[in-house]
């Protein structure tokens, strides 16, 4: 079973591409949606310009996911301030 290594302070995930975070050039980010009822769309983009979206996925209320990304890729959510993210590592 993998173990979690905390590598950064948890932050509220920004909700616009211009404010999107790369989480300190993280390659793995732990995402959690603390909402009791609202799912959010997570977007991964190449940079804060918004010109190249890599992809999107739904983060349901109460859900936690681990996102693997390139160090310079940025992450933001569609609306709300209830989603949190932190730079992490996973070990075997």
Q: Does the pLDDT of residue 2 top 80, yes or no? A: no
User: What CATH number corresponds to the domain at position 14?
Assistant: 2.60.120
Instruction: Identify the domain containing residue 9 by its residue range.
Output: 3-91
**pLDDT tens track for 7-60:** 999 999 999 999 999 999 999 999 999 999 999 999 999 999 989 999 999 999
Q: What's the structural domain count of the chain?
A: 1
Does the pTM of the predicted model rise above 0.85? yes
What confidence score (pLDDT) does residue 91 get? 86
What confidence score (pLDDT) does residue 1 get? 74
CA distances from 12 to 20, 28, 80 (A): 10, 16, 10
**What per-residue string of b and e applies to 11-50 under the rule 16 or more CB within 10 Å gives b?**
eebbbebeebbbbeebbbbbbbbebeeebbebbbbeebee
What confidence score (pLDDT) does residue 17 get? 95
Q: Taking the chain, what is the end-to-end CA distance rounded to the nearest angstrom? A: 6
Give me the residue label for tokens 């209830």.
82
What confidence score (pLDDT) does residue 92 get? 75
pLDDT confidence bin for 66, thresholds 50/70/90: very high
Give me the residue label for tokens 């979690």.
4
Please name the helix (run of DSSP H) or strand (run of DSSP E) that holds residue 65, with its range, or none.
strand 64-68
């Amino acid at each position: 079973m993998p173990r979690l290594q905390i590598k950064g302070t948890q932050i509220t995930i920004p909700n616009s591409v211009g404010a999107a975070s790369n989480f300190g050039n993280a390659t793995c980010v732990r995402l959690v949606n603390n909402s009791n009822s609202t799912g959010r769309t997570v977007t991964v983009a190449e940079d804060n310009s918004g010109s190249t979206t890599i992809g999107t996925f739904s983060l349901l209320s109460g859900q936690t996911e681990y996102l693997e990304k390139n160090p310079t890729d940025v992450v933001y959510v569609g609306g709300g301030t209830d989603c949190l993210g932190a730079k992490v590592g996973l070990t075997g």
